[in-house]
Structure 1
Amino acid sequence: MTDLATRVVVARRTALRRALPALCGYAAVRALGLVLLAGWSAARGKSAYTLLTARWDSLWYARVAGGGYGYQVRLPNGDVHSDLAFFPLLPWLERLGAAVSPLSYADAGFAVSLLASLAAAWGIFAVADHVYGRRAGVCAVLLWAVLPVGIVQSMAYSESLFTALAAWALYCVLTGRWASAGALALAAGLTRPVGLAVVAAVWTAAVVSLIRERRATAGLVHDRRATAAPASAPARPVLPAAGPGRRLLGMLTAPLGAAGYVLWVGHRTGGGLFGYLDVQAGWRNGFDGGYAFARFVGDKLTSFPSALAGVGLIVGVALVIWLYVAGVRQGQPPALLVYSGVVTALALCASSYFGSKPRLLLPAFPLLLPLALALARLRPSRAALVTGAVALASAVYGAFWLNGSGPP
């Protein structure tokens, strides 16, 4: 083994040991949620595993994995639900898992989600640890695990896979690994439409870093002129910014996944650049700036007891906005602010599937960093008590939620 390979292995082992408390805590929270879901489902005569792997979106992903694209359902009201709405990376991984193992497509999707959720937890820790320190990193992972909709992290859905790719792409951005950031952003763009948030983060960070480097270079030149040596002394050259080629490569690579799939759908449907939007319209989904969601909340407020749900939605949206503003005030890196801002805007301003909005916000983990910092300031015993209580409440809610009638 070469010296470089040895250093890489040692660095990865060190990083894993540093993240181990966060990963163990995450696994414990998810195990609690799955155990409680199994008991709750059994009491209702349902299969917890079926709820996790073979209902709602999971069926669409498994169908794409098994037969490719081309399936659609025409509803009595004329709406057309096409499987082209679902991005391809998760079905590809399900097909790969089924090809190299005895797993079914649904089983492979569940396995991918379990592994991806651990990768996502590690990525969230890496980002928070890099920005705010190890204790905040552990708290950020635990908060992501105990979210009320955290059970989705264990479903054969694409949220865990996307969050893992996004978190590690952001970490690469923060540490200057531009080529890796671009590749991960490409993969995220093949996972969910919100992959555009990762692309925006990569581009924003690249532009900001370029501006800072130019300012630093200009400042260095100014300082050197102010303290110039005698004319007979040789001039010291100003070095160019490090790695401009890799940064450009990352910027060019980042949008290829999302752009490639959207263009392919447009070609397949004959809709051109707007073909994917037409597919989403068939699901009555689009971007209307939040008008439909506001009207939905307003309708909830017109009668009791639905008014309580309406008030809860208003409080939830206000909390999300407050967390974002808190992140701005704490000086989060621009890449994190852009990423969480785009994810939040796309989730709250979509024109349909209002019950799924908490799930759509699941990848916006930088919103949790202000809470993670607050939790990290508590004494360990108090932080453990708070986290344990919220984890139990989250497990109960997740079991109740998945055993309901509608999709998460």
Structure 2
Amino acid sequence: MSQTETHKVSTLSLSPPTPPRRHRVLAALTTAAPALLGYIAARLVGLAILFVAAPMAGKDALHLLCERWDSLWYQRVADGWYGYEVHLPNGSVHSDLAFFPMLPALERGLAELLPMRLATAGLAISWTASLAAAWGIYAVGARLHGRRTGVVLAVMWACYPTAYVQSMAYAETLFTATAAWTLYAVLTERWILAAPLTIVAGLTRPSAAALIAALTITVVVAVATERNEGLDWSAISHAHRRMLTGVALAPLGWLGYVVFVGVRQGDPLAYFAVQAEWGNSIDGGIALTEMVFEHLTSSAPLAGVGLVAVFTLLGWVMWRCVKQRQPLPVLIYTVAVVVISLIGSGYFTSRPRLMMPAFPLLLPAAVALVRWGNMRTWWTLSALAAASGAYGAFILLGSGPP
């Protein structure tokens, strides 16, 4: 053996072995522990406020979290699969086909496995998914702006105005978890991991269209850039086969459910008809604009002024995300979630909940809070957690759905 070969063998033998996957996961979880503990603390504040306020209003807090509104629709799907409809006096039909199948499937599986009630299973899945979402949000924030920003970002998401939904048997936490980890997978160029995560997201919420758009536009821009640099298609496809495979597989969950509804109803556009019956048709924001205008021209225009101020703030925050130079997939995902939430004609008060998965909206504020220093940051987050909890209790103790 030559001296050079001997040196190579010696170098290889001294290289530290790659730790087992479970050790790497445990190390990553340990690193994310401050974010997860902060997230749990913020949500416990919200739950404590609700569990104190609910008996005073003569209501059961646990019932509000897992056996009301959309939670019941998911449980009906889990119990007997699809086929349940409600015929309203105005002639419209509310079908359970409006609800995507991933959460009901998990509820049914967990209830059969342990066993437990479907309502309890839905709550357990939602709470577990909320931790996975907080971890993913931390991972994205830490990769872009450091660990402290990741921690603050995860806790801020727990203090979002409609964060009470994160403690309900709803699909928002499951969708946000898959979306956050998909974005992290793309940022770390793990496209084969991004594909199944996006498929799961597509079987969870219609908002997965935003995630699919983010991946697709990212790939189109990357390919166009390399084409402009003179690379031919064969070289690009060979160099980026994982990326191209990932983006090709990503829409299968969302498209699969739309096709399922179409086949079941005998109409390729049946899914959109089902959503229209629920009042969720896409109108480009006309219904929202008309509502704001009606409030502005009413005898009490302050509500309209407040709405204009809220949308102005939302636009400014989105502009700050652009100025912050957020990576393209993160920015496209955020903008798409917001747009999808605003261009439908559905129930207005649900729109903040629909925008909750757009967690990168909080990145500019998280970066700013980190600069304040630890004490001011945590006092601010504590106040936000209390305010979010009080608002959540107020909404959940009301009559309308969130």
TM-score, normalised relative to structure 1: 0.90
3-state SS of 1:6 partner: coil
Residue from 310, 313, 321 that aligns with 1:327: 321
Greater displacement, 39-48 / 307-316: 307-316
> Identity over aligned residues, as a percent?
50
> Paired residue for 2:278?
283
The answer as to 2:2 corresponding to 1:6 is: no
Selected match of 1:71 from 72, 84, 87: 84
Shift of 1:155: 0.4
2:394 aligned partner: 400
Which residue, out of 184, 198, 201, partners 1:171? 184
Size of the aligned set, in residue pairs, is: 384
Q: Give the Cα separation in 1 of the matches to 2:299 and 2:134.
A: 40
For residue 283 of structure 1, report the CA deviation from its aligned partner: 0.8
Q: Report the AA paired with residue 267 of structure 1.
A: V
What amino acid does structure 2 have at the position aligned with 1:372? Answer: A
Q: How does 1:1-400 map to 2 (within 5 A)?
A: 6-212=19-225, 244-272=240-268, 274-303=269-298, 305=300, 307-400=301-394
SS in 2 for 1:103: coil
Determine if contact 1:271/1:278 at 8 Å carries over to the other structure.
Answer: no
- Give SS of 1:77's match: coil
Shift of 1:243: 5.4
Letter in 1 for 2:259: L
* Matched position secondary structure for 1:102: coil
| CA positional deviation for 1:368 | 0.8
Query: 1:175-229 CA distances to partner (integer Å, 9 max, x unpaired)?
Result: 00001101101110000111111111112222333345566786xxxxxxxxxxx
Change (3 A) 1:208 1:271: same
Q: Which amino acid aligns with 1:55?
A: R
Q: 1-side partners of 2:241 and 2:125: how far apart?
A: 33
What CA distance in whole angstroms lies between the structure 2 residues aligned with 1:304 and 1:392?
Answer: 33
Q: Work out the CA distance in 2 between the residues paired with 1:330 and 1:303.
A: 38
Residue 12 of structure 2 corresponds to none
Alpha-carbon separation, structure 2, partners of 1:131 and 1:208:
20
**Which one-letter code corresponds to 2:275 in the other structure?**
Q
Report the AA paired with residue 318 of structure 2: Y
CA distance in 1, matches of 2:171, 2:213: 20
2:94 counterpart SS class: strand
Q: Distance in 2 between matches of 1:242 and 1:174?
A: 20
State the 1:242 CA deviation. 7.5
Aligned partners of 1:327 and 1:284: how far apart in 2?
31
Q: Which runs of 5 or more structure 2 residues have no equivalent in the other structure?
A: 1-15
Give the 3 Å change call, closer, same or farther, for CA 243–125 of structure 1 in structure 2.
Answer: farther
Unaligned runs of 5+ in 1: 219-238
Superposed displacement of residue 332, structure 1: 0.5
- 1:232-280 per-residue CA deviation (whole Å, 9 max, x = no partner) reads xxxxxxx9787522112211110000001001101111221x1111101
CA deviation map 1:154-175 (0-9, x unaligned)? 1000000000000000000000
Aligned partner of residue 81 in structure 1, secondary structure = strand
TM-score (norm 2): 0.92
Do the aligned residues in 2 keep the contact of 1:173 with 1:205 (CA within 8 Å)? no
Q: Matched residues in 1 for 2:308 and 2:225: separation?
A: 39
**Aligned partners of 1:25 and 1:253: how far apart in 2?**
35
RMSD of Structure 2 on Structure 1 (CA): 1.8
Residues 127 and 167 in structure 1, CA contact (< 8 A), matched pair in contact too? yes
Distance across 2 between alignment mates of 1:8 and 1:243: 27
In 1, the alpha carbon distance for the partners of 2:90 and 2:244 equals 48
Q: Give 1:387 deviation, angstroms.
A: 0.9
| Structure 1 residue identity aligned to 2:39 | Y
Whole-Å Cα distance in 2 between the matches of residues 76 and 172 of structure 1? 47
Question: Take 1:127 and 1:243, find their aligned partners in 2: how far apart are those partners?
Answer: 25
CA distance in 2, matches of 1:304, 1:373: 41
Distance in 2 between the 1:257 and 1:126 partners?
A: 24
The code of the aligned residue for 1:301 comes to L
